[in-house]
C-alpha cells in the first residue's frame, strides 16, 4: 500500500474544499473548464515573497487574501469580472498545518466575498522565504477590456479611494509610525480591489496603483503617449494619512491597489454616478497633457514638486 | 520626466519579444484573449525553486525550458494542446541582465518548438533562492480531456519513453554518479513533454510521472479506485540507466515527465500505432487490478519488491 506525502493530504484537506467547477477536485494534472460563452478571457499573474511583498510575521490568512486581492485588482483595472484562480505555494519544510489552515481560510473568505474559486496550483518546499504566486482568470465582453493606452490629452485623471495608506500602512505594521486605530496597517494588509468601477464607455484607460501613484501614472502616460499634470492637494488622503503628514511618501509609495483612471470630460458625470452606485469614492486629481510621458506634480504653491523617488523598484 | 525601474526595462527587452496574441505587449495589467471556439480550456500551474526543483548552478536557459516543459507535460497528460503561459520570476536583486537574457532565450527556444507564447507574468526580487512559477493554458475538444480517474480493472499500464533517467540525471548533475555521454543529466535538465500521445478514445486515464513511478501510479490508482501490479523487469530503462544499475531509484525517483497511461486491451493495437506516428516509444509494464490503491511491484524473482520510498515528498 503506497501512502501519500503530506503535501497531498494538505491539498485534500485545506484546498479541495475551495475547488470550484473545472478544478476536478484538484486531483488531476490540470483543470478543465468551458469559457463563458461570448466573452473574452482576461488573465494575469503576480508573485509575492515574504520580506518583499509582505512581512514575514503577517498572519497567513491576510497574506492569502492580499495575494488574491492584488490579482483581483488587476482584473478590476481591465474592467473584468472574476472567474477563478490558481496559486503556487512554496514554504519552508517545517511549516505547520496551522499555517496552511489559516492560509486556506483567508482564501475561502475572499472566494465568498468576490465570487470565484480555485482551479489548481502547486505546493512545494523552499529553503528560502515563503514564495507565492497567483494567476487570476476573469472575463469581459468582447472589445470591452479597459487598457492603459486609451488616455487622450484633455482626459481627466481620477483615482478611487485614498492614496498612500498602503505605504504608510507598511511603516505602521513595522512599528515605525503610529497607527492609533490600526487603519493604515489594515489598508496595507487588506487592499480593496475596485471591481466593477472601470467600465467601457465610461473610462478611456485604467490601471491599478501598485508601485506608487507617480510611477504608475508614468506607465499609463507612456502607454497612451501623453503627459500628466496632477495637483498634489487634490490627491485624496485618508484622515489617518493626513495625520502622518508625509505627502511625498503617499504620492510615491506602493501598495495602494486603487484604480487610476482616464475619464473623458464628457463622461465625468456618468462616471461619477456609476462610482456612486458601486459605493466607491472617486476623486479628480489632474489632467492628461501633451508632454509625452512627463508626469508633473504641482505642490501647494503651484510649483512642480521634486519627489525623491518615482516609486517602488525591485532592482534599484 | 519619470523613469522606469529596471524590471520594466527587462520585461520590455527580454520578454516583450516573446509575447503573443492577447499579451498586449505585456504593457497592461492583464492579458485578454478569445478562447478557441468550441474548445474547453485546460490550465495548470507549477512552482520551481532553486535547490529544490533545479540546481542553483543550472544554466538559466535550461531552467526556463524545464519550467515550461514540466507544465507542458501536464497538458500532455490531459490530452490538451498548448495555447500560452504566464510566468512569475523572483530572483535576488543582484541578478545580472545576462541571467534574464539566457532565461528568455530558453523560453524563446521552447516557444518555437512547442507552438505557444507568453501571455503575462511578474518579475520581482527575493532575499532567497530563485523562485519561479508558470501557469500553462491549453485547449481540448469538449469532453475529451484525459483524467486520472478512468482506469479500470484489466486495463493495461503503459509508460512513454524511459523511466528513472531524471532521478539518475540529478545525481549525475551533482557529480555523484558517472554520466559518460551526459545523457542522464540532459534528461534531468530537459524533460520531453509527450504532447499528442494521450488521446480520448485510445486512453482511459493518464498522468505525468513527476514524483516517481510508484508514487504517481498510486495517485492514479486512488483516483480510479483500482490497484496496480507492475513487472519491474518490464519498466523501460535507458541503456545509460541500466549501466548505473539502481533499479529501485528508477522506480521511485522523480523528474521523469513521461506519461503513465491506462489502455483498455481492445485499444492496445490502435494506441501503439498512434504512438508510432508520434515517434514516441511506449511500453506495457503491468495491469490494473482489483486491489484498491495498492501498487505491487514484482521483482525479477516474481516476488513483490520492497521499495525504500514511495517517491519524492516536499515535507517528509
Q: What is the pLDDT of residues A188-213, one digit of tens each?
A: 999 999 999 999 999 999 999 999 99
Please name which of B95, B27, B107, B121 lies closest in space to residue B61, comparing C-alpha atoms: B107
**Chain A: residue nearest B292 by CA?**
A1
Last residue of a domain, one of A116, A140, A164: A140
Q: Which of residues 88-127 of B touch A (CB under 8 A)?
A: 88-90, 93, 95, 119-127
Whether A213 and A285 map to the same domain: the answer is yes
User: pLDDT for B135-148, tens place per residue?
Assistant: 999 999 999 999 99
Which range of residues forms the domain containing residue B74? 7-17+40-140
Residues of B in contact with A120 (CB under 8 A): 43-45
Whether B136 and B171 map to the same domain: the answer is no
Q: What is the structure's pLDDT at A301?
A: 86
Chain B touched by A34 (CB under 8 Å): yes
Q: What is the structure's pLDDT at B25?
A: 86
- The answer to the question of residue A303 being in a domain is no
- The answer to the question of residue A250 being in a domain is yes
Sheet holding B295-298, edge to edge: B205-209, B258-263, B156-160, B282-289, B227-231, B295-298
Whether A200 and A225 map to the same domain: the answer is yes
CATH of the domain at B292: 3.90.650.10
Whether B105 and B218 map to the same domain: the answer is no
Nearest to B315 among A7, A30, A137 (CB): A7
Question: What is the average pLDDT score of chain B?
Answer: 93
User: pLDDT for B217-263, tens place per residue?
Assistant: 999 999 999 999 999 999 999 999 999 999 999 999 999 999 999 99
Alpha-carbon distance B209 to nearest alpha carbon in chain A (angstroms): 10
- The answer to the question of residue A24 being in a domain is no
Q: What is the structure's pLDDT at A2?
A: 47
Contact A250, A167 (CB under 8 A): yes
Contact A128, B131 (CB under 8 A): yes
Q: Do A88 and B45 touch (CB under 8 A)?
A: yes
Is this structure's pTM higher than 0.90? yes
User: pLDDT for B181-206, tens place per residue?
Assistant: 999 999 999 999 999 999 999 999 99
Nearest to B49 among A43, A90, A316 (CB): A90
Chain B touched by A47 (CB under 8 Å): yes
- The answer to the question of residue A151 being in a domain is no
ipTM (interface predicted TM):
0.93
Q: What is the domain count for chain A?
A: 2
Alpha-carbon distance B215 to nearest alpha carbon in chain A (angstroms): 7
- The answer to the question of residue A305 being in a domain is no
Contact A32, B140 (CB under 8 A): yes
Nearest to B124 among A3, A52, A222 (CB): A52
Averaged pLDDT, B34-42: 92
Residue A264: CB atoms within 10 Å: 17
- The answer to the question of residue A308 being in a domain is no
Q: Do B126 and A128 touch (CB under 8 A)?
A: yes
Q: Do B5 and A215 touch (CB under 8 A)?
A: yes
Q: What is the structure's pLDDT at A223?
A: 94
- Joined grid coordinates for residue A22: 473545472
Whether A218 and A85 map to the same domain: the answer is no
Question: What is the average pLDDT score of chain A?
Answer: 93
Whether B70 and B172 map to the same domain: the answer is no
- The answer to the question of residue A175 being in a domain is yes
User: pLDDT for A295-312, tens place per residue?
Assistant: 999 998 889 988 865 666
Q: Do A41 and B32 touch (CB under 8 A)?
A: yes
User: Helices in chain B by DSSP H: which ranges?
Assistant: 6-10, 60-78, 97-114, 165-173, 183-189, 213-224, 239-244, 247-252, 268-278
Residues of B in contact with A93 (CB under 8 A): 314-315
- In this prediction, residue A315 has a pLDDT band, given cuts at 50, 70 and 90, of low
Contact A285, A162 (CB under 8 A): no
Last residue of a domain, one of A140, A173, A196: A140
- The answer to the question of residue A25 being in a domain is no
Q: What is the structure's pLDDT at B2?
A: 47
Averaged pLDDT, A214-242: 96
Res B102 pLDDT > 90: yes
Residues of B in contact with A43 (CB under 8 A): 30-31, 33, 86, 119-120, 135, 137
Res A230 pLDDT > 60: yes
CATH of the domain at B124: 3.30.1330.10
Whether A288 and A199 map to the same domain: the answer is yes
Whether A105 and A192 map to the same domain: the answer is no
Amino acid at each position: 500500500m503506497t501512502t501519500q506525502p503530506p503535501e497531498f493530504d494538505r491539498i485534500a484537506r485545506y484546498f479541495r474544499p475551495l475547488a470550484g467547477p473545472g478544478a476536478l477536485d484538484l486531483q488531476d494534472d490540470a483543470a478543465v473548464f468551458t469559457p463563458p460563452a461570448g466573452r473574452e478571457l482576461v488573465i494575469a499573474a503576480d508573485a509575492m515573497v515574504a520580506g518583499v511583498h509582505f512581512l514575514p510575521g503577517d498572519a497567513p490568512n491576510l497574506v492569502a487574501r492580499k495575494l488574491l486581492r492584488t490579482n483581483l485588482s488587476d482584473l478590476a483595472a481591465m474592467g473584468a469580472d472574476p472567474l477563478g484562480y490558481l496559486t503556487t505555494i512554496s514554504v519552508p519544510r517545517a511549516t505547520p498545518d496551522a499555517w496552511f489552515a489559516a492560509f486556506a481560510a483567508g482564501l475561502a473568505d475572499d472566494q465568498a466575498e468576490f465570487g470565484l474559486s480555485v482551479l489548481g496550483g502547486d505546493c512545494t518546499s523552499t529553503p528560502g522565504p515563503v514564495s507565492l504566486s497567483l494567476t487570476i482568470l476573469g472575463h469581459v465582453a468582447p472589445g470591452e477590456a479597459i487598457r492603459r493606452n486609451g488616455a487622450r490629452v484633455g482626459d481627466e485623471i481620477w483615482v478611487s479611494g485614498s492614496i498612500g495608506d498602503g505605504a504608510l500602512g507598511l511603516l505602521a505594521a513595522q512599528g515605525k509610525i503610529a497607527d492609533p486605530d490600526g487603519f493604515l496597517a489594515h489598508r496595507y494588509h487588506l487592499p480593496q480591489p475596485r471591481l466593477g468601477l472601470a467600465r467601457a464607455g465610461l473610462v478611456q484607460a485604467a490601471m491599478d496603483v501598485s508601485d506608487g501613484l507617480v510611477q504608475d501614472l508614468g506607465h499609463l502616460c507612456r502607454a497612451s503617449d501623453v503627459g500628466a499634470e496632477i495637483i498634489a492637494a487634490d490627491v485624496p488622503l485618508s484622515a489617518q494619512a493626513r495625520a502622518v503628514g508625509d505627502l511625498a511618501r503617499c504620492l510615491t509609495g506602493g501598495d495602494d491597489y486603487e484604480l487610476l483612471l482616464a475619464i473623458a470630460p464628457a463622461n465625468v458625470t456618468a462616471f461619477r454616478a456609476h462610482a456612486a452606485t458601486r459605493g466607491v469614492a472617486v476623486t479628480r486629481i489632474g489632467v492628461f497633457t501633451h508632454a509625452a510621458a512627463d508626469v508633473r506634480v504641482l505642490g501647494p504653491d503651484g510649483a512642480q514638486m521634486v519627489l525623491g523617488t518615482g516609486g517602488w523598484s525591485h532592482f534599484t
